[in-house]
Amino acid sequence: MRISKAAVAATLVLGVAAPLGLAPPVHAATGVVSDPVGDAGGPQRLDVTRATVHNKDRLVVARVNLAEDEKGDIIVSLDPRGDSGLRLIATKKADGSVREQILPGAFTDRGDIDRPTPCRGLRVRWAEDVARLAMPSACLHDGDYGAVRFSVLTENGADSDIAPDRGTSGWIPRG
Ligand SMILES: [Ca+2]
């Protein structure tokens, strides 16, 4: 089923605004960070406008909205409460192809995290100005975690944009 961006936005608004009991709490475990347009250090930079993370039971899904589609890296740093995290990376090459990678250690972890690359289960879809990164929960401490928080960094040429500008999102409960 195709769902338009407008429909998704309307659903999100409805999910927040609907009175208790009328809408299922499907968006309860969601964190959203909005970021200004034009703060990525110049044209042709990957300019994040909004990032959303759904901390679902079996998947963590990050959605990153960009001001414009450009090549480069989107790095979503994922920090579970009380434990080390991961970086989920989507890379768009000059030919338009997209690669994915998971690295141990969130931005909030101190020092190097000496762990092997956790898993190969990350799926990335990067269509125009929206990138979606979906990670099986088993990739993070075998699924044994609760709330997560996140931040997003883009790189093309150099660090381009970071969202939020300081710190991380709030804690997003699992559910
Ligand atoms: Ca931005």
CA of 125 to the centre of ligand 1 (A): 20
CA of 96 to the centre of ligand 1 (A): 22
Q: Is the pTM of this model over 0.85?
A: no
In the chain the first and final C-alpha atoms are separated, in Å, by 24
CA of 76 to the centre of ligand 1 (A): 14
8 Å CB contact between 130 and 106: no
Low-confidence stretches of the chain (pLDDT beneath 50):
1-3, 5-25
Question: What pLDDT was estimated at residue 42?
Answer: 86
Tokens at 172, concatenated: 């997003």
Neighbours of 135 (CB within 10 A): 23
CATH topology of domain 29-163: Immunoglobulin-like (2.60.40)
Question: What pLDDT was estimated at residue 72?
Answer: 96
Q: Cβ contacts of residue 160 below 8 Å, gap of 6+?
A: 40, 41, 45, 46, 47, 72, 154
Give the domain ranges of the chain: 29-163
CA of 138 to the centre of ligand 1 (A): 31
Question: What pLDDT was estimated at residue 28?
Answer: 59
Task: State the Cα–Cα distance between residues 162 and 74, nearest whole angstrom.
Answer: 10
